[in-house]
Amino acid sequence: MPFLLLAGFHIQAAVGIIPDRIEEVRTLILVDDKISRTPPSLKLTLSLSGPEAEAAVRYGNLKLEEAIDDKGNSLIRTNDTFHEAAKFKDYSNAFFRKSSFGGKSDPQVELDLGLPARQATKVTRLRGTLDLAEQGTIQTIELAALKGAGKKALAVPANAGVEIAATVASSDTVRSIAIEITGDESAVESLEVVDASGRKISSGMSSWALNGSPMRKTLTLRQPLDDSMKLVAKIALNRKITKVPFDLKDIKLP
């Protein structure tokens, strides 16, 4: 039975999980032209049901304890350099659930698995847990006086479980800001730089992290930083997190 994590309490919850579809991609490189491509993969989409699944808006913290095909091959991926399994993402069909087109669809999550053996016909067992997160209360936090060089911390409430710091280089024409996020990165709904009128100045953001280190991001600016600009963060507070165990058997392979 799934349980709800809220202020340290575990509350019983009911989330149903069934396989929806499975897609397999294999690549045969006939000529090595030194171009990076999407690696071979097995993507499983799961459909969720129940009030906790409907109330949530994203999923993450995926932990696979067992994933094996009928030839004994493990499907747990060993390379997750950027910790994608731990990150919280919107439901994979979030756009269609918000759209007025078509009928109502159940929330869906996607699992990236390793390739099965070529002779395999099914995933004999898939066992693990994932977390579902509600929207929570969104609080806007601003950091002004950005132009001065150095590292500055945003006044994020302690109960958000995340800390954010911005570092500005010493230059008259700063076109990017370094961001360091420590703690629960999923609580950060958005990060933007805006001018005095509220117009968005940041044009893109790149991210990277090493094992066990804070998440580091770079916000690129459309124009040089000036005294009127500020960093605006939207932080999710008081989110309810539902931890959902699953144990699925005999999922057919393509």
Please say whether the beta carbons of 113 and 74 come within 8 A.
no
Q: pLDDT at position 96, please?
A: 85
Q: pLDDT at position 184, please?
A: 86
Q: pLDDT at position 27, please?
A: 84
104: which 2 tokens? 């109502």
The candidate with the shortest Cα–Cα distance to 39, out of 72, 90, 85, 78, is 78
Q: pLDDT at position 212, please?
A: 66
Name, in order, each residue with C-beta under 8 angstroms of 5's C-beta and a sequence gap of 6 or more: 131, 240, 241, 242, 243
Q: pLDDT at position 54, please?
A: 94
Which helix (H) or strand (E) segment holds residue 173: the answer is none
Give the chain's residues under pLDDT 70. Answer: 1-13, 81-83, 101-103, 211-212
What is the residue-wise DSSP string for 4-51? EEETTEEEE---EEEEEEEEEE----SS--S---PPPEEEEEEEEESH
Segments making up each domain of the chain, as ranges: 3-27+37-135+239-252, 137-237
The candidate with the shortest Cα–Cα distance to 141, out of 118, 158, 117, is 158
Please say whether the beta carbons of 125 and 248 come within 8 A.
yes
Q: pLDDT at position 81, please?
A: 65
Q: pLDDT at position 82, please?
A: 62
Q: pLDDT at position 21, please?
A: 96
Question: pTM of the prediction?
Answer: 0.76
CATH number of 137-237: 2.60.40
Q: pLDDT at position 39, please?
A: 77
The candidate with the shortest Cα–Cα distance to 56, out of 111, 127, 2, 126, is 2
Kindly tell me the burial class for residue 33, based on how many C-beta atoms sit within 10 Å of its own C-beta (0-12, 13-18, 19 or more).
exposed
Residue 160's φ and ψ, nearest 5 degrees, are -75, -25
Name, in order, each residue with C-beta under 8 angstroms of 133's C-beta and a sequence gap of 6 or more: 56, 57, 58, 59, 60, 88, 186, 236, 239, 240, 241, 242
Which helix (H) or strand (E) segment holds residue 181: the answer is strand 176-183
